[in-house]
Structure 1
Amino acid sequence: MTIQQRWMLAGVALATGVVIHFLSPILAPFMVSLVLAYLADPVADRLEKMGMSRSLSVTVVFLALFMAGLLMLLVLIPALFHQVKTVVQLLPVWEAWVRNNLVPELLLYIDVDPEWFDLSVVVRQLATEWQQTGGIIADLSRKVTSSGLAIAGFVVNLFLVPVVTFYLLRDWDKMMLHLRLMMPLNMESEVVSLSKECDEVLGAFLKGQLMVMLALGVIYGAGLWLIGLQFAMLIGLLAGLASIIPYMGFFVGFATAIIVALFQFDQYWALLAVTAVFTVGQMLEGYVLTPWLVGDKIGLHPVAVIFALMAGGQLFGFIGMLIALPLAAIIMVLLRHLHRNYKASDLYHAGEPGEMPEE
């Protein structure tokens, strides 16, 4: 790579960061569409290999994505909203149970100020926030005039996502080809090799891991629903989302389900049933889902996932969280490449007698 090419790449990276920083308020639908197109492109390519045209295969995949999104809007989101509302209504009851039953038992063994366990302020704050949210939703039609611009922006973004996703998905292969043709000739082979490594890591998380998260959310939610646990769907969703960090979904979902089971049933069989559901889910993840959907691809370390999500959210908000994992994957691949070059360089082998050993 020449000096001019290095300056060019640095300039492109800087310009990209500046654009994301200043245009982040309008980039959300485009970034969501980009992620959806990236995830759906392998399915469209597979349909093409089965004999479909690109337009037909993209249409089939797009309709599947559209129906899944419509199902979430019409069925899942109202159900989740209802469960969250029920949780908020039960918070005072749970807080009273903790104050009257659990706290006295704890104070027998630890000498601390009982005020440390006073959760009433937190409960009241959560209830107030929920009432404000419910009021906003209930009065939305009344406030259309005063917040018409914001609502119009939301509606535009809502319709932009499927439109942009369709066109990105239809022209995905062409765009990738054009990007490859723009590469300087002396860098093309190296960039293609690095791109394949990045795609492996991205595939392990944005394709494989997201499907594992969805499957675990369904497994945990369905299992808890079968044993009659309240908020089964909400706990399944929480466990599935937390599963983006390996094992985090199991611990978060299991702890939440155990607490709910204690309040709802107050019997040992319920604890055993919850343990069985999460044990089955963990076994399916370890022996079926992860080997099948993720395979032996090298993914991101859990600490890297946590840091990337927090750093992306801190720097660029919601857009930063969307691009955090792809950027972390690319940076990790570049660091591996840099490490390989360093191990083969004179800097690493300086002062060694004889020839440098091959890797």
Structure 2
Amino acid sequence: MSKSVVDKYFPELTVSLTILLFVVSLFTMKPVVFPFFAAIASAYITFPIFQFFLRLFKNRQIAAVLTVVVILLSILGLILVILPTLVKQIQGFVDYLPVLMARIDFYFKKYLGKKLFAGKLSPENVRSVFSLIYKNFSVSNSATMAAVVQKIFSGVFSIASIVINIVVIPLLSYYVLVDWENLRELYLKLIPRDYRVETAVLIDRVNDSLSGYIRGQLLMAFLVAVYFSITLTAAGIKYSFLIAVVAGIMNMIPYVGFFTGFVPSILLAVFDNGDLFHIVAVLLIFLSEAALENVIYPMVMSKTTGINPLLIFFAIFFGATYGSFLGIVVAVPVVAMILPVFDSFMFKKEGKL
């Protein structure tokens, strides 16, 4: 590669190598790097709150402290308010699942001449599996819980590290919020002077893309969960809160959130409620959600952070294959960071920059 080509694409190469180095270090030194990753993610999510407090008090330290307090209160609210309701609905769903499956089997036997869940997929077997999973995740069985968490999260979220991270991550979030500009300037000082201005512009584009994607997706997930929770509850669909939470989380994957909520809702409407009103209600709820999302999504997500759904699916499958659960978490944010770099490279290649 000639020197002129290196000069031309130096900012893109530098930022790309930085992203690659961060990802590699995250997977090779998870216990060390993960708290910083989580702190940066928390800072990105809560940055609008930080800006609000900064405008109000004109002091970065006070604004950062208050933002961290908001983070801690949100976690506390999740643990004390949302989690107990969610666990209760999961237990109720596990207990009700055999009844629902038996009703589905009854209608399949009646109209198609055979059962859907015959043999190994009997309601009793499925209930046993769900009961075992629920038991393994029960807080009363701390040894099993520690083993399950350790296995799923590959050591990142062991019981000891959870306790440490509860203290460390908010503290690191405080320093990220306070010293973000200083960290940015320190990074730029490592770049040769001739490339600093262009690299700074590219860093800002990457920052805007990542922050816009994270906050936009989380806001959409929250709005979808609230909408489904209210409408499905009003329609009289069982376990509406559980369906809404799962659909909201899965909504960050294109199309998956819609079907994750629709399938159990329509099954409950048909085989539990069993009347035309509930079936039509569920259809209207999900059709209206799809219509509303098409209006709200462009308002929440800026055009620069729009990622092709196929690219999102590829990133998630790639992350799951090579990085387990942590790979799924970081896959799409990494794509959100890479896209502005790729765009800048293509603009230069085509002579537009």
Give the direction of change, closer, same or farther, for the CA distance of 1:47–1:10 in structure 2 (3 Å limit): closer
Cα 1:172–1:103 shift into 2, 3 Å? farther
Provide structure 2 residue ranges, at least 5 long, that are not aligned to the other structure: 1-5, 150-154
> Are 2:213 and 2:305, in contact at CA under 8 Å, matched by a contact in 1?
no
- Is it true that 1:139 corresponds to 2:164 in the alignment? no
TM-score by length of 1: 0.81
2:291 alignment partner AA: M
Q: Which has the larger radius of gyration?
A: 1
**Cα displacement string for residues 6-30 of structure 1 (whole angstroms, at most 9, x for unaligned residues):** 9987876665454223212444333
- TM-aligned CA deviation for residue 211 of structure 1: 0.7
User: 1:145-182 deviations in whole A, cap 9, x for unaligned?
Assistant: xx9x9533331122222222222222222222322333
State whether structure 2 residue 131 is matched by structure 1 residue 124: no
2:176 paired residue number: 168
Correspondences of 1:1-359 after superposition (within 5 Å): 1-2=6-7, 15-107=21-113, 121-134=125-138, 137-140=139-142, 150-287=158-295, 289-344=296-351
C-alpha displacement at 1:72, in angstroms? 0.5
**1:71 Cα deviation (Å)?**
0.6
Which moved further from structure 2: 120-129 or 228-237? Answer: 120-129
Aligned partner letter, 1:34? I
Tell me how far apart the structure 1 counterparts of residues 129 and 143 of structure 2 sit (CA, whole Å): 26
- Cα offset, 1:308, TM superposition: 1.6
Counterpart AA for 2:348: N
Post-superposition Cα deviations, 1:166-208, rounded to whole Å, max 9, x if no partner, equal 2222222222232233322222233223223323432332011
Structure 2 Cα separation of the partners of residues 14 and 193 of structure 1: 19
Measured at CA, do residues 247 and 153 of structure 1 come closer, stay the same or move farther in structure 2, by a change above 3 Å? closer
Q: Tell me, in whole angstroms, the C-alpha distance in 1 between the residues paired with 2:279 and 2:221.
A: 23
- For 1:320, the aligned partner's letter is G
Return the alpha-carbon distance in structure 1 between the equivalents of residues 182 and 87 of structure 2: 41
* Superposition deviation, residue 116 in structure 1: 9.0
Instruction: Give the CA deviation at 1:269.
Output: 0.6
Is the CA contact (8 Å cut-off) linking 2:117 and 2:123 kept in structure 1?
Answer: no
Question: 115-124 or 252-261, which moves further after superposition?
Answer: 115-124
**DSSP 3-state at the match of 1:138:** coil
Structure 1 pair 264–122 and aligned structure 2 pair: CA distance change class (3 A): closer
Verify the 8 A CA contact 1:99 1:118 in the aligned structure 2.
Answer: no
CA deviations on 1:236-278 (whole Å, 9 max, x unpaired) are 1111112113343223212221112223311111122222333
Q: Which moved more, 1:195-204 or 1:11-20?
A: 11-20
Higher relative contact order (CA 8 A, sep 6+): 2
Is 170-179 or 32-41 further displaced after alignment?
A: 170-179
Alpha-carbon distance change, 276 to 180 in structure 1, aligned in 2, over 3 angstroms: same
Q: Is the 8 A contact 1:84 1:234 kept in 2?
A: yes
Distance 1:12 1:52, change over 3 A: closer
- Tell me if the contact between 1:204 and 1:299 (Cα under 8 Å) persists in the aligned partners: no
**Which moves more between the two structures, 31-40 or 198-207?**
198-207
Do the aligned residues in 1 keep the contact of 2:44 with 2:211 (CA within 8 Å)? Answer: no
Contact 1:201–1:297 (Cα < 8 Å) also in 2: yes
- Give the drift of 1:46: 4.2
Asked whether the equivalents of residues 44 and 58 of structure 1 are also in contact (C-alpha less than 8 Å), the reply is yes
